């Protein structure tokens, strides 16, 4: 089993390495792949140095699985080349997510769709993954009509430069800006670029990807995405309107029985999800579960997850694990 990480020197790539090691992913060889400027660098995996190679070299070595986290343009150019060489690509960018011929996968929800013929598999957006993890079991039982979501997203979702901007501002150092405004002591209602509708791409990912993953275009979703000065972990305020009524006891039971979801919901002792506690963990944490008193059959939830792990690296590795376990590569 030969595995490649494309974008190995980036923020998500480094977490992928960590997750592969933690989960003791079965492999015989690991290829670490990056852009030309990083070729020749050494990165350690299980205390052994591995030399970074270029994309063309990696394609020629025909890995069984390539985990991509190198941006949309790189993926559009190189994922098909890997696929032609027989490699199964699991891509973290937005390049293939809405392609009608590509599966958009959260393993706990829809991995069973995957076949040997799927050579390019899309990993959903971080904010979508954590939301649908909580929505999927509820949709199955109560049928979702509408979702209103506001996100509170960490700077790590933007990348290394954004983390450095926050750290510099906290330390009082002037440095390179990843955002058009300071992020420390601030909240910026602007994640990704604006579309003609006035919504950002990030907001529309929550709409389109949710419908695709849950396989239901009738679900109405509207979103507002906000960047906040936390270093890791995305939070979401989610309001869900169902076709059928529910009891809060059943909601909590259903969520607590869902693989990968942890219910933290006891306001008597101030127990609720927070990014500082989700940091470094693979679960999706759900709390502040309460009925929406303004609307029939409606529910409010607060959902938190580590955006670099379940929101990116861990979900990608879980897809790879599923492929290996089911002899799909």
- The residues that are catalytic are 126, 234
Q: How far apart are CA 329 and CA 314, in angstroms?
A: 19
126-142 and 248-256 are packed helices; what angle lies between their axes, rounded to 10 degrees? 130
C-alpha gyration radius of the chain = 20
> Are residues 281 and 313 in contact, defined by beta-carbon separation less than 8 angstroms?
no
Alpha helix (H) residue ranges in 184-313: 201-213, 248-256, 275-278
Token pair of 307 as six digits: 């955006």
C-alpha distances in Å from residue 220, one per residue of 110, 211, 246, 301, 312:
20, 8, 19, 17, 25
* CA angle (125 as vertex; 14, 102 as ends), nearest 5: 105
As a whole number of angstroms, the distance between CA 197 and CA 81 comes to: 35
Torsion of CA 181, 182, 185, 190, to 10 degrees: 40
Q: How far is 64 from 66, CA to CA, in rounded Å?
A: 7
CB atoms within 10 A of CB 13: 24
């Amino acid at each position: 089993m030969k595995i490649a990480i494309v974008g190995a020197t980036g923020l998500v790539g480094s977490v992928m390495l960590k997750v592969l090691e933690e989960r003791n992913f079965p492999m015989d060889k690991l290829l670490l792949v990056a852009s030309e400027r990083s070729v020749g660098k050494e990165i350690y995996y299980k205390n052994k140095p591995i030399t970074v190679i270029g994309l063309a070299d990696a394609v020629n070595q025909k890995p069984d699985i390539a985990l991509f986290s190198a941006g949309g343009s790189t993926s559009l150019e190189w994922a098909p080349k890997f696929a032609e060489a027989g490699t199964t690509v699991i891509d973290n960018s937005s390049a293939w997510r809405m392609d009608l011929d590509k599966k958009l996968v959260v393993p706990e929800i829809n991995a069973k769709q995957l076949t040997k013929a799927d050579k390019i598999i899309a990993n959903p957006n971080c904010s979508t993954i954590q939301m649908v993890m909580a929505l999927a079991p509820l949709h199955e039982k109560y049928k979702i009509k509408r979702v209103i979501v506001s996100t509170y997203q960490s700077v790590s979702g933007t990348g290394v430069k954004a983390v450095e901007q926050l750290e510099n501002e906290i330390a009082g150092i002037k440095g390179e800006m990843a955002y058009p405004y300071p992020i420390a002591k601030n909240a910026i209602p602007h994640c990704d670029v604006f579309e003609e509708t006035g919504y950002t791409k990030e907001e529309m990912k929550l709409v389109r990807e949710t419908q695709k993953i849950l396989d239901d275009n009738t679900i109405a979703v509207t979103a507002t995405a906000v960047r906040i000065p936390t270093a890791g972990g995305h939070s979401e305020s989610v309001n869900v309107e169902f076709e059928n009524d529910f009891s809060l006891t059943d909601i909590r039971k259903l969520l607590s029985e869902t693989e990968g979801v942890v219910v933290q919901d006891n306001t008597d002792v101030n127990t609720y999800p927070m990014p500082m506690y989700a940091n470094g963990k693979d679960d999706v944490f759900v709390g502040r579960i309460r009925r929406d008193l303004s609307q029939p059959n409606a529910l409010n939830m607060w959902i938190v997850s580590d955006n670099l792990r379940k929101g990116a690296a861990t979900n990608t590795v879980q897809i790879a694990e599923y492929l290996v376990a089911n002899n799909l590569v």
